[in-house]
Amino acid sequence: MRVELAVDARRPDRGCEDFAAATPEALVLLDGSSTPESLATGCTHGTAWYVRRLGVHLLARLTDRADRTVAECLADAIAETAALHGGRCDLANPATPAAMVVAARLRGDTLEYLALGDSLLVLHPEQGPPRVIGDNQRFPGGEELRRQVWSTVPGSAERAALHLRYATAVRAARNTGHGPWIAAALPRAAEHAETGAVARAGLRGAAALSDGAARFTDRLGLGSWADAAHLLAEAGPAELIARVRAAERTDPHCLRWPRSKAHDDAAALYARL
């Protein structure tokens, strides 16, 4: 694989909670689950710390444990990262740091993959439309709350209160069997990831996108998935993110394109196969 990636924080004064990394045979992309500042997490480290350590451990397992499936590698990485917290953190807190995950690994003539949460893997074939995998842990119980958040003015006290209510509801349900599954402190979350394998033959490449980068198509409508895949292959991930940022700047109050925040952390990776 030949890999190009880009990661961009939503604000220059705030640490980025997205992460992307790759080796010649494996790739990982994580989108940290942002937590309102007023919501206690029980963790002294924070989401940015968590996604970097989980991402590094997952990439290591993918490259050195060919005997483990991609889902098993994620479970191992979650357990290893949980151990790094030590006794200072309450990992039973529903708001403990967590992340959406995309991972892929080449094994001979096959590309194995995993997607957990709303980050996406896009398979880019030589012929025909792309195949989009992911966004597989929707939470219907929170959809109405999210729409209410989007209907308020960004930066307002009303939006902050509704966002806290939404974030609390999601965290109370996730990894319980009654809501979405996400990589946090429980290795069994990996069992709920979407996994599979495809033949390498006929694939031009594979892309991984956090939801902040996937806005190009699914929120801002700047192009189809075929357009996004072509842009990633020809101009690279940084250009796709630059076009997302340019569009977002024309709609700072989220009126044309309703969304929870004007800008989000964005990560994009494209692997030529």
| Residue 99 domain-assigned (yes or no) | yes
Which position has the higher pLDDT, 241 or 170?
241
User: Is residue 138 scored above 80 in pLDDT?
Assistant: no
- Which residue type is seen at 256? R
Whole-prediction pTM: 0.94
121-140 average pLDDT score: 91
Please give the tally of structural domains in the chain.
1
| Residue 153 domain-assigned (yes or no) | no
Name the least confident of 43-47, 144-148, 164-168, 263-267: 144-148
Q: How confident is the model at residue 140 (pLDDT cuts 50, 70, 90)?
A: confident
Contact between residue 26 and residue 38 where contact means Cβ atoms under 8 Å apart: no
| Residue 174 domain-assigned (yes or no) | no
Question: In sequence order, what DSSP letters do the residues of 24-79 get, joined into one string?
Answer: SSEEEEEEE----TTS--S-SS-HHHHHHHHHHHHHHHHHH-TTS-HHHHHHHHHH
Contact between residue 266 and residue 210 where contact means Cβ atoms under 8 Å apart: yes
Count of beta carbons in the 10 Å neighbourhood of residue 258: 13
Tokens of 216: 């190009």
| Residue 249 domain-assigned (yes or no) | yes
201-206 average pLDDT score: 97
- What pLDDT is stored for residue 15 in this prediction? 84
Tokens of 188: 């069994």
Q: How confident is the model at residue 245 (pLDDT cuts 50, 70, 90)?
A: very high
| Residue 233 domain-assigned (yes or no) | yes
CATH code, 193: 3.60.40.10
Question: In sequence order, what DSSP letters do the residues of 167-192 get, joined into one string?
Answer: HHHHHHHTTTTSS---BSS-GGGGGG
User: Is residue 136 scored above 80 in pLDDT?
Assistant: no
| Residue 164 domain-assigned (yes or no) | no
Task: Give the C-alpha separation, 255 to 20, whole Å.
Answer: 30
Task: Share the mean pLDDT of the chain.
Answer: 94
pLDDT tens by residue, 93-121? 999 999 999 999 999 999 999 999 999 99
- What pLDDT is stored for residue 222 in this prediction? 98
pLDDT tens by residue, 2-38? 999 999 999 888 789 999 999 999 999 999 998 888 8
| Residue 71 domain-assigned (yes or no) | yes
What is the residue range of 191's domain? 2-138+179-272
204-233 average pLDDT score: 97
| Residue 22 domain-assigned (yes or no) | yes
Name the least confident of 52-56, 170-174, 247-251: 170-174
What residues pair up with 120 in beta bridges, in sequence order? 134, 209
- What pLDDT is stored for residue 26 in this prediction? 98
